Amino acid sequence: MKLTFLGATHEVTGSCYCLEACGKTFLIEYGMEQGADHFENEPLPIAENTIDGVLLTHAHIDHSGKLPVLFKNGFSGAIHATEATADLCAIMLRDSAHIQEFEAEWRNRKGKRADREEYVPLYTMEDAEAAIAAFVGHPYGQKFELVPGIEVRFTDAGHLLGSASIEVWVTEDGVTKKVVFSGDVGNLAQPLIRDPSYIEEADYVLTESTYGDRNHAATRPDYVAELADIMQRTFDRGGNVVVPSFAVGRTQEMLYFLREIRAKQLVKGHDYLVYVDSPLAIEATNIFHENALDCYDEETMALIRAGVNPIRFEGLKVAVSADESKAINFDTTPKVIISASGMCEAGRIKHHLKHNLWRRECTVLFVGYQAVGTTGRAIVDGAESVKLFGERISVKAEIAQLTGMSGHADHDGLLRWLGAFTEKPQKVFVVHGDPTVCDKYAEELRGLGYDAYAPYSGTQFDLASGELVYEAQPKPIKKDYAAERADTMFARLLAAGKRLLTVIEHNRGGANKDLARFASQIDSLCDKWDR
């Protein structure tokens, strides 16, 4: 009866845990790491073809994204999840496989010219299809026997359509222990989906800690009013509202707000359209509607009982083909354009930015987190221009944000979820958080009387005895010599850039023709190196 921690340990992404009990081995999640990694993750402790099955909390790629790798390497078991999660994974894993194959094709095309070795994608569409075919859907709240000695139940986590905390009962050699995997605990009062359900009993709890060190705003913003105001002033100027949005979850929330704005006629004097320009988002929206009875909250179900579709309305258009997408920017009707990707790094949103970002009458509205180094983050941070398709595009549009939109419980929400257990668990494992957050939240829980511990990848715990079998130590990702040298060269470049700013300041008040020549030289240099 052993639990091994493999991923999302002192990191937010790449969730993966291994449960060995009753002569069987199961993975709980197998997510893809996204963004910067701090520590090395231990490999799976056994070969993929000897794993007996997988339990999955929800469809986000940092929890599900490596499932096709299992099938690539010989796994043939079932993936157990809620029915809505199975539906969402069917589109998200195909989309991920398409990205893997596209990147491999692009790298190999360039690599062939440079005589580099062939780049092999993490997995292919065939691997993704094998994973999709292996899903077994389960309703919320229904306990089932996974194998003799292990029972499982999915409880609504309120984070994403179909998201769940997983309750696992293990009985071995006359000893029964209950382990709860929190998954991602949802924020309260999100549109469409229900609030998190609370669990009352467990021997061991794995809790996420994404927002373990901070709270959302004390007062929930009125997103409908804010969005209506942004639309009104933009349409009054004769512009479009362009919304970079994540295809699954955030897009459907935006449609919920836009339906209410349309129903209450909060935008005056304009006959506007709303375009969803993302095939993935369109498919996800259909899945949301198909799973309404199992996943929607009471407010949304009341709309459905009244004959109102909560995420569809008059004036909503979808663009599936590339031609339909291109046609949007030749339509002069005032419009809202919702398109992926949410951080403006790829996809159709880049085309819409190219057509609208330089127009003072338009607005680019950000509704999600923008990671450092992304095009979206550069725009939010005040960049005067960004490069799209090799062309420098000026940022003249109004830049707006709907702040505080999050699918994650904040610090107080996590404490509320953990506090629902009628008796303190025997041990609480803090996972799925940045390194300092995991440690800080675990320390806080210990101060509240919990036996809390933040493991590193490779840590093994005996559920029967309640003791650590092996306490892994952190393995920071080491940079090789070439990378360190590159960092040194970049620091030298940065210093040169600061010197250039000083020289520019020293030329304040110089002759116009000299300043123009200096500016042209800088522009030429930037054109050469801005890639």
Over pLDDT 70: what percentage of the chain? 95
301-305, 445-449, 450-454, 521-525: range with lowest mean pLDDT: 521-525
Name the token pair of 376: 């979206």
pLDDT tens digit string along 489-505?
666 676 677 678 777 87
Mean pLDDT, to the nearest integer, of 129-145? Answer: 98
Amino acid identity for residue 123 in this structure: Y
Q: The dihedral of CA 487, 490, 492, 495: what is its sign? A: negative
Note the pLDDT of residue 446.
98
Q: Phi and psi for 106 in degrees, rounded to 5?
A: -65, -45
* 98: nearest Cα among 143, 128, 54, 56: 128
Comparing 54-58, 102-106, 121-125, 276-280, the range with the smallest average pLDDT is: 102-106
Please state the pTM of the whole predicted model: 0.85
- What's the CA gap between 94 and 79, in Å, rounded? 16
**Which pLDDT score is estimated for 529?**
74
For range 14-33, the mean pLDDT: 97
Mean pLDDT of 157-161: 97
Q: What is the pLDDT of residues 218-244, one digit of tens each?
A: 888 999 999 999 999 999 999 999 999
The rounded mean pLDDT for the chain is 92
Report the candidate in 134, 146, 120 with the shortest Cα–Cα distance to residue 30.
134
Q: What are 360's two structure tokens? A: 């003072």
- With cut-offs at 50, 70 and 90, classify the pLDDT of residue 481: very low
SS3 104: helix
| Residue 9 pLDDT | 96
pLDDT tens for residues 54-86? Answer: 999 999 999 999 999 999 999 999 999 999 999
**Angle between helix 411-419 and helix 435-447 axes, rounded to 10 deg:** 50
Whether the ω angle into residue 341 lies within 30 degrees of 0, i.e. cis, is yes
Q: Whose CA is closest to 337, among 240, 402, 259?
A: 240
The average pLDDT across 167-181 equals 97
